[in-house]
Structures are given as C-alpha cells and as structure tokens.
C-alpha cells in the first residue's frame, strides 16, 4: 500500500531534536505482536479462583408484557448460586448514557428482542445455560412498534415508553429531535432561485460495530463491600457512574480496571454485562465472570441507527448550491443510549462540508421496539453523508458538471460558517483533499487476457471469468466533529511520574483511557518521550484510581487524553527545571529536557536527570479541557456546538458484475487532514480501518430486523469484509495544524468512515446506472430482483 505524507506548515515540535520514538515517529504498538500471535489477554481470558459464570435470560419477543417470572426450577439446579430479577436490585433500577431510561433487568415488560430479564450465576457456563432455560417467563406478546408510521402514531399503535415514563424532552415515540434553519431557510421563494432541484429518499440499514472480542468482564466482591470490576469498555468512569447507583454503592466503592479490549467502535459505550456481573458478585460473594456468546453480543450492544432520509437540493446552472433541505429519521430502538447526541450530529453535520446559503434540517430519533441504537464510529454523520454525497452526484449529473468540480465549487474552507453559524476557525481543506484523491494515479484496467479470478467480483466463488464486469469510479468527501459537543465538558485526566529506576530516568503515564485498539498507549508514551526527553516510558494499567479520561470515541482520545498527558508531562518538566533552578541557580530561560538531561539551547547540557532527581519522584496530575461549546438552539440549530471538525475525501474504483450484482472494490483512495500525525503508522492504520468499515456498510454489513426480531445474529450472516474484499487503500495525509489543539492535531478515526461509503456506492452507480438509494447495496438492488 502506498502512502505519502505531505507536509503542511512546519509544526513547532518538529524544530526540536526529537527521539525517533517521540511524537511524529512510528514506534510499534506494544499489543500488536501479541494480538497477531494470539497471545494477547482479552477480557474474555480472565480467570479467578472460585469464580462463577454469569448468564442472562433474554426476551425472544420485541414487545411483551411479563406476566410472571418463575425462577424456582433454576434455583434447584445443583451448581446454581443465584438467580436474580429486577426485584433483587439493591439500588436504582435504571441506567443510561444520557437518559436513565433502561432497566438493568426488565420490569414487567420487554421492549426489544434480546432484553435481559433475569441473570444466573453458576459454577460452570453449561450449568448457567441450563439454569437460564429453566426460568419460566409468562409473556403477553404485543404487536411491536417498529415502523416510522407506527412510532409516530402512538394513539393507534401504542407507546414504547408510556408518556409518564419519559425522562427527557421526548414525546410520543420521539426520543429526541433537532431542527436547524440557516440563511433564509427553505421556502418557495428560495426554491425559485435554483435552476435545478433534486429531491430523493435515502435509506441506511442497521450496521453493527462487529468487534471481534465479545462483551466480557470479571466482577470481584471486595472486603469493603465494594466491587472490583475488570472489563473491556470504552469509558471506565461513565460505566462506574451508571453502575454505582444500581448497585447501591458510592462511586468510590466501584473500582474499574480496563481488561484487554477486542475492538469497540462505539459498541462498548453503553453498559453490557457490567451491572449484571456485579449484582451477581454482590449476591454470591464470589467473583463472577460473564462472557457473551457471539449471538448474545449482537443482542447485548447498541448498533448504528438505521436511517430514512429525504434530501432536496437546489443548484444554479453553473453549479452553486442555492439551498438544501433534509429530514433525517433515525430509529433509536427501545432505549435512548446516545440517540440525543447522534441526532445533534446528524442535524449539525448533515448538510456536509459545503457552503449552502439557505438550509433547513430536521433530525429525529424514534423510540421503537427495534434493537437499541447508539454510538458507532461516525456517530450521526455517516447516514447523512450517504444522502448528501449521493445528492451531489445527482446534482452534477443534472447540470452536466464533473462531480468533483461541483463539490469543489461549493466546498467549505477556513473562515466559512457551518449551517449552525459556527465559523470554522482552523484549516478545512475540503477542495484540496478532493483534488488529491482525484490526482492519484488510477489502478490499471482489468486485464482480460491474464485474468486472476481472485481479483474479480465473486473471487474464488468462480462466478465470472470476465463476463459482466464493468468498472466504475466514484468520489466523496465528508465532515465529522471531534470530541463531545453541545456544551459537554468531556475532560481528560493524566498522571505523569518521573523517577530514576535502575540508574535511568523513567516516565510513567497513568490515565483511565480505554485502549480499544486505537493505539493510544503508544501515543501516550511518545508524548512523554518528547516532553520529558527520556526513552523509557511505562504505561500504568488504566483504572479508576486516576481521574476520568473520557470516552475512547468521537475521534477524541489523542486530542483529549493525549493533551492531558502533554499537560502533565509539561508540568513535570517545569517542576524538574524549577528543582534545578533552586539547587543550581540556573538563570537561562531556554531550559528544556532532552536526551535524559536538562539542556539549555545556549549553554548546552546542564545535568543528567539521574543526578538531578536522585531518589525523588516527581508525580503530577493534570486535566485537559477542550474549549467550551454550547447546545444547539432547539428550533434553529444555531450555536458553537462542536470542538473541532475533520475532513476526509475518497475515491473508489470498483468492478461490478452487472449481471450478478457482485462487487469487488479494486482500490479505495483516501486523503485526510490530520493536523499533525503523532504516529504516522497508526494514523494510516486508522484511515485504512475506517475506510474498510465504510466499505462494509456500502456493500454488506446489515443487521436484518423483521417485525422487531434480529434475523442474523452471527458472523455467518452478518458479513464483514475479508481481506479479499478489502482493496489497497493508498492514503494521502495532510498536516495542517489546528491552533486550538495539542500539537495542532486533528482527530483521525471517524472521518474516513463517514466519507468512504458514498464514494463506493457512487462507483457502483457509475458501473450499473442504478439509483441505489439504499445501503448496504445488495446484489438484488443491482440486478432488480429484490
């Protein structure tokens, strides 16, 4: 895979003589080799003397009243230690990320297929499974509320949550809504200013995070009556905040330590087994481990919101956008999860990285009896990008303009205003990113003389030897925010300790950051090396002994916790220098730490850290807060709502077997501005991974739900890309620093997931001439056999 790093403005940090394993270098991640060799200890690998196994009984119905639960037969089974229902919960019965609307165990009714009703602890997973089967639940099965029409007519079809149960601004079966009006809005007068109007409906299926390590953790009861939980999660402190009230414990008695995480992508933002294992440990006084089976994992976490969207754009004959109108209906499923924030993103980012003088938008999330939806990589920006980028292609076709040119003509840049009124106050090289992917060399055309069947759609399934293959090319660009928005202060905490160990200065970095595979621990060590001028850095296990690091999501961890590590390391550096000044009376103003010494740019090396520190450790903790934001106005959507924006452009080259509807993505090119690549290898990996997950949504990944029931809760039928589906992904990294961000960096992980899906669909459209207004694109859509 080819990669190219293009320098923007020289970053100040580059001026220093930095360690090759400091920032800007690409030291290898400590977990990489272990994972490849199968030696990494995941949360599911944990073991404790005398531990029990926990398991949940889950509802087979998407909507039902629970008439009775009889646990007596389950309790009689030898080896069963506890069977709990909501009656056994010592504290609050509800939890939730933003709205506490989800019962830890179902109370009198179930609202989605797979909702947990009772939990069992037993001496063996098979005993637990048998005990679960012996729990007798009497249901009154109700017709599930699953379509938009049903949700929006609660008088006819009923309420997912009774109106008196609402804990937020929701009403009817609407969990959250956000409107937005910009410029003159969209009126008949405005419409009249456009030469061409394009209006279409779009639909996005329910994507799953499909992380490979199932939900798992080990809850250990402590002597002080508290719980020590070892768990794979994305945010230790928000787990604790939700768990403690349910367990009836003060937060300090609920201690969490991060266990090995096998991927997350948003799917571990909500609680899964945390409360259940802890309740069972509290009750039995024994350690309790819960590991979900694969099918249970599909029921045990939230998914990406499926969306139905209507978009209308007006454009002048010379390609200037005049107005854009959109309605986005997101199916939030049974419980709120992150729906309100997803709605905020959809509304504020849903018109893309374009200057549009007149805008209107309404985004809503429904409550339904479908599976709950919440956070997933791209968070509210993914669904809309499929719609607005499809619209750009249609507009370009309608006025006979090149689709890249149309996008560039309307592209945002620094100083422009978002439809929310927020001025973009750092680089926004949208047009340039498009130009970069367009200028990359194209892969060679299909060589029909020397065919390798593995390179064709269908590959070794041997469906074509060249018949029916048509190549298509598509372009796209997308916008994503970085960090939590709308007034949320998602600060991060870092503790940095510098001391002499074995005759060498060693830094230790302690945060509660969840390393979920993003490479944060590698970057933290790089920051410490650069700031403290030492080579040896250890990373303390992530736990709740230190302050919150916020969530590993929203492309925020390097920005936020990386920023906290930088602040703490800088404070340690200052303390070291002050110590030297006090002891030696240095007067230079150009002191810093490098090569294990205190150095002065004018006077050279002053003293080795080993000598200056002696037996003393310098141990400081700092919090990093991003600049404040504000909630969007409920009716107009106006407000300085986002911390930072990030952009990625893509080009897709696909071969389609137009007779069979099979697709092979030949190449997927990405260009992204990352502000500053702290670890270029990881940055490229993030971009390639994001593109691949976007490819999955474009052509295969969907949880199929019929009448509220999940039909494909397995990797047999929920398909994710294999290596034969994943093309070369050349990445062009642009580094234009954001003056507001640590090191000028820009969050990386999500932007390609937003932008890459629409360009693949655009390429398939070009090859097939089909409308393809729904993703994932299935062979049936291409062949007209739905």
**Footprint of another protein on this chain (CB under 8 A)?**
129, 293-295, 457-465, 467-468, 659-662, 664, 699-700, 704, 711-712, 714, 716-717, 719, 721-725, 778-780, 783, 785-786
594 in Cβ contact with 535 (< 8 Å): no
Please state whether the peptide bond connecting residue 408 to the residue before it is cis, i.e. omega within 30 degrees of 0.
Answer: no
Question: What's the rounded Cα separation, in Å, for the pair 89 and 153?
Answer: 34
| Strands of the sheet with 196-204, listed across from one edge | 174-182, 358-366, 321-331, 307-315, 196-204, 774-775
What is the DSSP pairing of strand 591-594 with strand 597-600?
antiparallel
Of 294 and 634, nearer to another protein (C-beta) is 294
Of 258 and 699, nearer to another protein (C-beta) is 699
| Burial track 721-746 (b if 16+ CB lie within 10 A, e otherwise) | beeebbbebbbbbbbbbbeebbbbbb
Q: Taking CA 699 as the corner, what is the angle to CA 696 and CA 704, rounded to the nearest 5 degrees? A: 85
With CA atoms as reference, report the closest residue to 525 among 28, 5, 15: 28
The distance of closest approach from Cβ of residue 341 to another protein in the complex, given in angstroms and rounded to an integer, is 31
The distance of closest approach from Cβ of residue 304 to another protein in the complex, given in angstroms and rounded to an integer, is 18
The distance of closest approach from Cβ of residue 71 to another protein in the complex, given in angstroms and rounded to an integer, is 20
Residues 6+ positions from 285 with CB-CB distance below 8 Å: 221
- DSSP state letter for 742: G
What radius of gyration, in Å, describes the C-alpha atoms of the chain?
A: 27
- State the helix-helix crossing angle for 381-399 and 751-768, rounded to 10 degrees: 40
The distance of closest approach from Cβ of residue 652 to another protein in the complex, given in angstroms and rounded to an integer, is 15
The distance of closest approach from Cβ of residue 712 to another protein in the complex, given in angstroms and rounded to an integer, is 5
The distance of closest approach from Cβ of residue 149 to another protein in the complex, given in angstroms and rounded to an integer, is 23
Of 125 and 421, nearer to another protein (C-beta) is 125
Of 293 and 440, nearer to another protein (C-beta) is 293
Of 4 and 294, nearer to another protein (C-beta) is 294
Structure tokens given for 91: 């504290």
Residue 506 phi, psi dihedral angles, 5° rounding: -130, 135
β-partners of residue 495 are 510, 621
Of 143 and 714, nearer to another protein (C-beta) is 714
With CA atoms as reference, report the closest residue to 166 among 38, 3, 340: 340
The distance of closest approach from Cβ of residue 320 to another protein in the complex, given in angstroms and rounded to an integer, is 40
Of 271 and 273, nearer to another protein (C-beta) is 273
- The shares of helix, strand and coil residues in the chain, as percent rounded to the nearest 5, are 30, 25, 45
The distance of closest approach from Cβ of residue 135 to another protein in the complex, given in angstroms and rounded to an integer, is 15
The distance of closest approach from Cβ of residue 42 to another protein in the complex, given in angstroms and rounded to an integer, is 17
The distance of closest approach from Cβ of residue 461 to another protein in the complex, given in angstroms and rounded to an integer, is 4
Q: What is the distance in angstroms between the CA of the first residue and the CA of the last residue of the chain? A: 37
**Residue 330, SS3 per DSSP:** strand
Of 263 and 468, nearer to another protein (C-beta) is 468
Of 7 and 461, nearer to another protein (C-beta) is 461
Of 634 and 711, nearer to another protein (C-beta) is 711
Chain centroid offset of residue 302 CA: 12
Please state whether the peptide bond connecting residue 776 to the residue before it is cis, i.e. omega within 30 degrees of 0.
Answer: yes
Of 446 and 607, nearer to another protein (C-beta) is 446
Residue 632: CB atoms within 10 Å: 26
Q: Which residue has the tokens 């639960």?
A: 69
Alpha helices in 358-502 (DSSP H): 381-399, 403-409, 430-439
The distance of closest approach from Cβ of residue 306 to another protein in the complex, given in angstroms and rounded to an integer, is 15
Question: What's the rounded Cα separation, in Å, for the pair 658 and 766?
Answer: 11
The distance of closest approach from Cβ of residue 267 to another protein in the complex, given in angstroms and rounded to an integer, is 20
Of 146 and 678, nearer to another protein (C-beta) is 146
């Amino acid at each position: 895979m080819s990669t190219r790093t293009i320098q923007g403005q020289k970053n100040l940090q580059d001026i220093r003589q930095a360690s090759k394993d400091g920032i800007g270098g690409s030291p290898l991640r400590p977990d990489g080799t272990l994972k490849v060799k199968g030696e990494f200890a995941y949360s599911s690998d944990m073991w404790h003397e005398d531990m029990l196994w926990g398991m949940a009984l889950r509802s087979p119905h998407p909507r039902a009243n629970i008439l009775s639960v009889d646990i007596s037969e389950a309790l009689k089974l030898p080896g069963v230690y506890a069977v709990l229902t909501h009656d056994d919960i010592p504290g609050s019965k509800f939890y939730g990320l933003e709205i506490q609307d989800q019962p830890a165990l179902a109370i009198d009714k179930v609202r989605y297929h797979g909702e947990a009703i009772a939990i069992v602890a037993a001496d063996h997973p098979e005993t637990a499974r048998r005990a679960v089967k012996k729990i007798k639940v009497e249901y009154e099965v109700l017709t599930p509320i699953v379509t938009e029409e049903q949700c929006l007519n609660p008088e006819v079809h009923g309420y997912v949550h009774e109106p008196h149960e609402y804990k937020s601004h929701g009403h009817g079966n609407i969990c959250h809504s956000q409107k937005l009006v910009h410029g003159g809005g969209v009126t008949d007068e405005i419409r009249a200013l456009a030469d061409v109007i394009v209006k279409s409906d779009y639909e996005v299926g329910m994507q799953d995070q499909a992380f490979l390590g199932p939900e798992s953790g080990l809850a250990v009861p402590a002597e002080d009556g508290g719980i020590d939980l070892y768990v794979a999660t994305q945010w230790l402190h928000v787990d604790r905040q939700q768990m403690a009230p349910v367990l009836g414990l003060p937060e300090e008695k609920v201690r969490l330590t991060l266990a090995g995480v096998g991927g997350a992508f948003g799917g571990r933002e909500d609680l899964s087994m945390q409360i259940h294992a802890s309740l069972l440990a509290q009750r039995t006084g024994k350690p309790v481990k819960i590991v979900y089976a694969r099918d249970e994992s599909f029921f045990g976490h939230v998914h990406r919101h499926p969306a139905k969207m209507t978009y209308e754009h007006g454009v002048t004959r010379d390609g200037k956008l005049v107005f854009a109108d959109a309605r986005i209906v997101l199916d939030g499923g049974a419980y709120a999860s992150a729906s309100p924030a997803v709605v905020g993103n959809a509304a504020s980012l849903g018109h893309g990285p374009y200057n549009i003088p007149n805008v209107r938008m309404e985004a809503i999330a429904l409550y339904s009896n479908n599976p709950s939806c919440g956070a997933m990589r791209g968070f509210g920006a993914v669904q809309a990008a499929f719609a607005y980028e499809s619209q750009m292609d249609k507009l370009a076709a309608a006025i006979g303009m090149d689709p890249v040119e149309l996008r560039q003509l309307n592209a945002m840049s620094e100083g422009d205003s978002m439809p929310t009124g927020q001025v973009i106050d750092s680089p926004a090289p949208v047009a340039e990113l498009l130009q970069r992917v367009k200028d990359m060399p194209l892969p060679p055309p299909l060589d029909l003389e020397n065919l390798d069947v593995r390179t064709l759609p269908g590959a070794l399934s041997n469906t074509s030897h060249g018949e029916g293959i048509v190549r298509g090319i598509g372009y796209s660009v997308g916008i994503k925010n970085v960090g939590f928005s709308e007034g949320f202060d998602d600060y991060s905490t870092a503790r940095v300790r510098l001391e002499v160990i074995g005759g060498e200065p060693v830094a230790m970095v302690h945060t509660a950051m969840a390393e979920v595979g993003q490479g944060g621990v590698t970057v933290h060590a790089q920051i410490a090396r650069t700031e403290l001028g030492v080579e040896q850095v250890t990373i303390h296990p992530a736990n709740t002994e230190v302050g919150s690091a916020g969530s590993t999501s929203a492309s925020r961890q390097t920005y936020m916790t990386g920023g906290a590590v930088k602040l703490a390391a800088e404070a340690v550096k200052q303390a070291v220098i002050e110590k030297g000044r006090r002891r030696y009376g240095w007067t230079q103003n150009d002191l810093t730490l490098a090569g294990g010494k205190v150095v002065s740019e004018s006077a050279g090396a002053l003293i080795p850290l080993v000598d200056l520190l002696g037996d003393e450790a310098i141990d400081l903790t700092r919090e990093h807060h991003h600049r404040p934001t504000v909630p969007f106005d409920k009716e107009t959507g106006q407000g300085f709502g986002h911390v930072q924006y990030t952009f990625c452009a893509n080009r897709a080259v696909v071969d389609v077997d137009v007779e069979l509807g099979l697709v092979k993505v030949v190449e997927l090119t990405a260009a992204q501005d990352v502000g500053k690549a702290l670890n270029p290898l990881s940055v490229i990996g993030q971009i390639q991974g994001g593109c691949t997950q976007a490819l999955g949504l474009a052509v295969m990944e969907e949880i199929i739900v019929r009448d509220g029931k999940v039909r494909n809760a397995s990797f047999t039928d929920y398909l994710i890309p294999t290596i034969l589906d994943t093309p070369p992904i050349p990445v062009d990294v642009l580094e234009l620093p954001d003056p507001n961000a640590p090191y000028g960096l820009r969050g990386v992980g999500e932007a390609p997931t937003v932008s890459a899906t629409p360009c693949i669909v655009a390429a398939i459209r070009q090859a097939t001439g089909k409308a393809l207004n729904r993703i994932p694109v299935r062979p049936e859509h291409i062949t007209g056999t739905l």
